[in-house]
Amino acid sequence: MHKSIIAISALTLGAISSPALADDGSGWSLHGFGDISVKNDYVTPRGLVVTTSGATVQVLNGLVFVSPGGVAIHAGTWTDINPGYSRTDGNITAVNEFDYFVGIDMDIAPKLNAGVEYVQFISGQSSVAFKDERNIEFSLKYKDGSKDSPYSINPYAKLFWAFDSKSSTVVLGKAGGTFDVELGAVPTYKTPGLTLSAPTWFTVGPKSYWGTGASKDGNFGVISTGLKASTPLSFLKGAAGANVYAQVQYFHLINDNLVAAKAILNSGDSKRNHVVFGMGLGFGF
């Protein structure tokens, strides 16, 4: 029942903090990033529909240390709060999830960035059903944009390794010692006053990642696409920056076990298609 922190931190840093992260070669620099959003539902990048009752508030914050050579080390936390949580679905608190993470990334070739991140998922709900989940995510991101064009595609690949866990990150799958792969792109149109992006991806992996035993399904998990519009808050001056955004993200649950997990967590709701609406504020210095 969890969020991919490296995806959020990468998008936040890319959208807000990239100018601040430019290093002048004089030494290490320290930067910060954050994001506060309100959404109708919480759906993870791996296609797990965690909550559909009440809105969800998600808070991200962290720090980045950048070396003179451009190696970035980041750490922070991410929290999901579900004020209108449903007790009938077994939830016992509005604090649905708390995660902490630490990672490192750097450019390994022109426009190609590689990163690795450790993230621990901590559920605010029943410790009987959900144990702490320790994960490592590896990423490759290609930044194809240029100063001469407002358009870019930004393809990427991620390997999510649930290496040590007593419960499944998608509820019905294997608990620990498993993985999935996310392949996607973030087509983007960027101007000084408006950025439009369309985060799009699908996931694949071993059948046991989504379900074990007789009910295990195929090797595909979820396919998702969306649209996000953001604009900077121009009244902020200096090194700090912020933007406001609105977004919509569509999820199609390919895997039958994701549909079954959605029904378990959300009062029997078994629709394969799910749409998340949200708005938020991102900031960095």
Q: What is the pLDDT of residue 127?
A: 61
Comparing 237 with 140, which gets the higher pLDDT?
140
Arithmetic mean of pLDDT, 119-147: 86
The predicted structure's pLDDT at residue 80: 94
The model's confidence at residue 95, banded by pLDDT at 50, 70 and 90, is confident
Q: What is the pLDDT of residue 129?
A: 62
Q: How far is 82 from 54, CA to CA, in rounded Å?
A: 7
pLDDT mean over 9-20:
43
Q: Is the pLDDT of residue 210 over 60?
A: yes
> Average pLDDT of the chain?
88
Contact call for residues 200 and 224 (beta carbons, < 8 A): yes
Check pLDDT > 80 for residue 178: yes
- pLDDT reading at 126 higher than 70: no
Kindly indicate the confidence band of residue 25, based on its pLDDT and cuts at 50, 70 and 90: low
- pLDDT for residue 128: 54
The pTM for the full model equals 0.89
Q: What is residue 238's predicted lDDT score, i.e. its pLDDT?
A: 66
Evaluate if residue 14 carries a pLDDT over 70.
no
Tens of pLDDT, residue by residue over 234-251, are 876 667 889 999 999 999
pLDDT of residue 63: 97
pLDDT at 216 (0 to 100) = 82
pLDDT at 130 over 60: yes
Give bridge partners of residue 140 from the DSSP assignment: 114, 157
Contact in structure between 202 and 156 (CB atoms under 8 Å): no
CATH ID of 5-284, from 2.60.120.650, 3.40.50.300, 2.40.160.40, 3.40.47.10: 2.40.160.40
- Residue spans of the domains in the chain: they are 5-284
